[in-house]
């Protein structure tokens, strides 16, 4: 077993550190941690341990419960609890005398966070960060919650009261604690073993449409109640499935939500990029942290939906999001930082909000009136009942110009120049902190988005950035030994999750379509072998494990298909395997994809919107996938036009490959069997294949585009037929005699 895997989550304490001579600095053990989040707690009077055997042994030796606190660097309420509770001397003293306190960065140890988050959700029906969990010395949880104020307020119990109660029960009623821990463990085991039988792929796809429609609200456009989180993969599914079925309602849902987010405060109207989520249902006021994974996932969705609907406005938001990501997140080596804090100088959102007076002082009265009207900057404002506003698109530029009597050409100039000045002025404010941690999966999402932008827009800046980020990760976080989770500066470590590895595999395939370098396909195939080795085996009726082999996870390794903030690793792998099958023709890829998808259907069952990535995988499996081999010199306009016709096709999951002339074409065909036996001739040609059966080659771009549209219509007819069969079966079942439940 690889050394880094054996080390896994139990080798994070830093031996040899000596305590700070100042007793107020109880968190001295965290001072040299590679995690910025842990280092922030080094000044606390709480005697923190990092996650590791030293802490566990201490709890066993002193017979104390463990207080486990999990958070991350850009988390607002994590900072609040650090300032309020963990800096409170009375609380710290009580913790130090009666508990062993462990601090974990969830971005470093997602396996630890996932398990204890599940435990807290099972106990309280809610979760979030900071995650506060109380454990037996053997690491079994028995009580937990999220943010606790130091003393009772906000209808929340005070942290000091909770500590006192747990300490009393631990000393006087230990059996209650043990019973709670045993009962909770049993519930978690039962839930992880739950399966749903008889879920057919087409019924699952139908359930995705129905589930989304049931929770959708048109005004404001979105799903469910506040707070609202972006759901980029679900939006892609809705528009893709709506396109195949001719379901305008599903298309409208996806497009409307994308437009609403782009017009809201969740999108940084001044600097670009997306905040993590909206605290209100109208997308107006965000939780201000910016996460790398939001930028990559959302930019890709804006491009994909823009492609399927030919909506240039969605392309524009995708482009602007990538441009902001390059400005705000890119590090010197080409990789991307993990996040930007929600707080600025200890105040949430202060970097991003404005008053009309501030805008007028910066731009002058006339221009400020235009900017404030468009961006909804009013007095009073929309932020926490004060005078400040989160900029949003409250009205169109055309509407504001008309109401203010400004010529449209002048308004466009004023608005563009005004945004630039606001961004420049904002840069002199106290800025949020950026966590420079490089997370493999999040960077892979960024690379995929850049690759899609490069392919669809033929934008060399995006292409170069995607390849540069790939190069910065290859060798440090991805090597022959496997996958590592994160890198802080020069320090790389921690076992990757299945999601990290799967998204790496996906970004390689996306890079191929942006560059047509066959080595990216070869790397995707190599990555699959590493994934199968480290996260397998693929047992009958089961998917891949979330943690790699050797990870000592409480209750053992588990398999997961639900999406979280980033997509399901199992479902992502399945989608990648289907793409590899089309490129290489190797049946093992499709076989493994079918196996994983079947396991996902048994796991997700009647909750399809809980895994939109699995919806996309099922969609790609049950619909015939067009694969197009283009043969020709990529420097010729005719070749590029054929490639463009495929790349811009409205079909959700086209696969395209390029065989150039000469030796490079021979090497490409060695990796990609779709290109074999395709001789390069004077005129560039395209071979369109469905289910490994190919049409006659064509050099006619209009004919190729028309054939792709014809396939899309055939897919739509197939979907309609499947839906009709499902409806007929349901009617037949409903007409059967319902047995008496008491009849044996």
C-beta of residue 580 within 8 angstroms of C-beta of residue 596: no
Average pLDDT estimate for 205-211: 96
Task: Name the CA dihedral angle for 252, 254, 255, 261, rounded to a multiple of 10 degrees.
Answer: 130
Q: CATH class for domain 8-192?
A: alpha beta
C-beta of residue 148 within 8 angstroms of C-beta of residue 79: no
Give the span between the Cα atoms of 29 and 49, in whole angstroms.
6
Residue 410: band (very low, low, confident or very high) from pLDDT cuts 50, 70, 90: very high
Tokens 């209808």 correspond to what residue? 155
Higher pLDDT, 1 or 450: 450
C-beta of residue 546 within 8 angstroms of C-beta of residue 591: no
Average pLDDT estimate for 45-62: 96
Would you call 458 helix, strand, or coil by DSSP?
Answer: coil
pLDDT-above-90 percentage for the chain: 76
Q: What is the pLDDT of residue 727?
A: 53
Q: What is the pLDDT of residue 722?
A: 60
Give the span between the Cα atoms of 175 and 197, in whole angstroms.
38
Higher pLDDT, 190 or 687: 687
Give the span between the Cα atoms of 588 and 590, in whole angstroms.
6
Q: What is the pLDDT of residue 17?
A: 43
Average pLDDT estimate for 222-244: 96
Average pLDDT estimate for 238-266: 96
pTM: predicted TM-score of the whole model, two decimal places: 0.91
Tens digits of per-residue pLDDT, 103-139? Answer: 999 999 998 998 899 899 888 888 889 999 999 999 9
Tens digits of per-residue pLDDT, 5-52? Answer: 333 333 343 333 444 445 556 889 999 998 999 999 999 999 999 999
Tokens 């690379």 correspond to what residue? 447
Which of 26-40, 203-217, 473-487, 707-721 has the least mean pLDDT?
Answer: 707-721
Give the span between the Cα atoms of 262 and 730, in whole angstroms.
40
C-beta of residue 415 within 8 angstroms of C-beta of residue 397: yes
Report, at the CATH architecture level, how domain 626-723 is classified: 3-Layer(aba) Sandwich (3.40)
SS (H, E, C) 270-313: CCCCECCEECCCCCCCEECCEEHHHHHHHHHHHHHHHHHHCCHH
Tens digits of per-residue pLDDT, 345-359? Answer: 889 999 999 999 999
C-beta of residue 56 within 8 angstroms of C-beta of residue 91: no
Q: What is the pLDDT of residue 20?
A: 45
Residue 731 has pLDDT above 80, yes or no: no
Nearest to 410 by CA among 393, 394, 397, 392: 397
Average pLDDT estimate for 433-444: 96
Give the pair of three-digit tokens for residue 177. 């604690």
Tens digits of per-residue pLDDT, 306-347? Answer: 999 999 999 999 999 999 999 999 999 999 999 999 999 889
Give the span between the Cα atoms of 273 and 259, in whole angstroms.
14
Assess whether the previous peptide bond of 634 is cis (omega < 30° from 0): no
Would you call 459 helix, strand, or coil by DSSP?
Answer: coil
Tens digits of per-residue pLDDT, 644-676? Answer: 999 999 998 899 999 998 999 999 999 999 999
Q: CATH 3.40.30.10 in the chain, residues?
A: 8-192
Would you call 85 helix, strand, or coil by DSSP?
Answer: coil
Tens digits of per-residue pLDDT, 383-397? Answer: 988 999 999 999 999
Q: What is the pLDDT of residue 681?
A: 80
C-beta of residue 53 within 8 angstroms of C-beta of residue 7: no
Q: What is the pLDDT of residue 717?
A: 63
Mean pLDDT over all residues of the chain?
Answer: 90
Higher pLDDT, 480 or 741: 480
């Amino acid at each position: 077993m690889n050394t880094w895997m054996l080390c896994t989550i139990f080798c994070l304490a830093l031996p040899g550190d000596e305590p700070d001579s100042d007793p107020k600095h109880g968190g001295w053990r965290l001072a040299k941690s590679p995690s910025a989040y842990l280092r922030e707690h080094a000044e606390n009077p709480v005697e923190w341990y990092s996650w590791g055997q030293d802490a566990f042994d201490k709890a066993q030796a002193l017979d104390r419960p463990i207080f486990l606190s999990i958070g991350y660097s850009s988390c607002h309420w994590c900072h609040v609890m650090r300032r309020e509770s963990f800096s409170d001397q009375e609380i710290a003293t009580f913790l130090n005398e009666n508990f062993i306190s462990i601090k974990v960065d969830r971005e470093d140890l997602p396996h630890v966070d996932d398990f204890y988050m599940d435990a807290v959700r099972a106990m309280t029906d809610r979760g979030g960060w900071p995650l506060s969990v109380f454990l037996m010395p053997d690491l079994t949880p028995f009580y937990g919650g999220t943010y606790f104020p130091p003393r009772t307020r906000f209808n929340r119990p005070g942290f000091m009261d909770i500590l006192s109660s747990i300490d009393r029960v631990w000393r006087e009623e230990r059996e209650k604690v043990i019973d709670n821990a045993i009962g909770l463990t049993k519930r978690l085991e039962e839930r992880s073993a739950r399966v749903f039988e008889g879920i057919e792929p087409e019924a699952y796809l139908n359930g995705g449409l129905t589930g989304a429609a049931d929770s959708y609200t048109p005004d404001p456009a979105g799903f469910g109640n506040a707070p609202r989180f972006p759901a980029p993969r679900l939006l892609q599914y809705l528009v893709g499935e709506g396109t195949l079925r001719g379901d305008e309602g599903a298309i409208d849902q996806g497009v409307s939500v994308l437009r609403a987010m782009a017009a809201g405060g969740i999108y940084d109207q001044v600097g670009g990029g997306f905040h993590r989520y909206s605290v209100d249902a109208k997308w107006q006021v965000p939780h201000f942290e910016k996460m790398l994974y939001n930028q990559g996932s959302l930019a890709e969705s804006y491009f994909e939906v823009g492609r399927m609907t030919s909506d240039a406005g969605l392309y524009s938001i995708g482009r602007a999001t990538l441009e902001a990501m390059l400005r705000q997140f890119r590090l010197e080596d080409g990789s991307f930082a993990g996040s930007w804090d929600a707080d600025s100088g200890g105040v949430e959102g202060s970097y991003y909000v404005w008053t009309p007076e501030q805008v007028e002082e910066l731009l002058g009265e006339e221009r400020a009136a235009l900017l404030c009207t468009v961006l909804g900057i009013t007095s009073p404002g929309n932020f926490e009942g004060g005078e400040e506003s989160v900029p949003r698109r409250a009205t169109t530029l055309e509407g504001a110009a008309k109401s203010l009597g400004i010529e449209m050409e002048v308004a466009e100039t004023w608005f563009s120049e005004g945004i630039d000045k606001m961004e420049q002025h904002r840069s002199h404010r106290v800025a949020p902190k950026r966590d420079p941690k490089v997370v493999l999966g999040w960077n892979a999402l960024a690379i995929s988005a850049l690759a899609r932008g490069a392919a669809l827009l033929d934008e060399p800046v995006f292409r170069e950035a995607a390849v540069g980020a790939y190069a910065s990760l290859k060798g440090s976080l991805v090597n022959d030994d496997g996958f590592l989770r994160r890198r802080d500066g020069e320090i790389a470590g921690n076992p990757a999750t299945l999601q990290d590895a799967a998204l790496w595999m996906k970004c390689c395939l996306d890079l191929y379509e942006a560059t047509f370098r066959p080595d990216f396909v070869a790397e995707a195939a190599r990555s699959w072998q590493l994934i199968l080795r480290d996260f397998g085996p693929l047992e009958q009726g089961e998917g891949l494990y979330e943690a790699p082999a050797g990870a000592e996870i409480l209750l053992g390794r588990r398999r997961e298909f639900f999406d979280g903030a980033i997509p399901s690793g199992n479902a992502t792998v399945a989608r990648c395997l289907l793409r590899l099958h089309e490129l290489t023709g190797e049946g093992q890829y499709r076989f493994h994809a079918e196996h994983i998808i079947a396991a996902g259907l048994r796991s997700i069952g009647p909750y399809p919107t809980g895994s939109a990535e699995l919806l996309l995988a099922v969609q790609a499996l049950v619909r015939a996938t067009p694969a197009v081999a283009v043969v020709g010199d990529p420097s010729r306009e005719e070749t590029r036009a054929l490639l463009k016709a495929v790349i811009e096709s409205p079909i959700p999951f086209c696969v395209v490959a390029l065989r150039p002339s000469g030796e490079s074409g021979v090497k490409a065909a060695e990796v990609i069997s779709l290109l074999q036996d395709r001789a390069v001739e004077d005129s560039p040609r395209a071979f369109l294949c469905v289910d490994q059966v190919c049409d006659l080659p064509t050099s006619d771009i209009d004919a190729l585009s028309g054939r792709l549209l014809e396939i899309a219509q055939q897919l739509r007819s197939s979907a309609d037929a499947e839906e009709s069969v499902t409806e007929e079966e349901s009617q037949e079942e409903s007409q059967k005699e319902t047995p008496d439940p008491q009849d044996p």
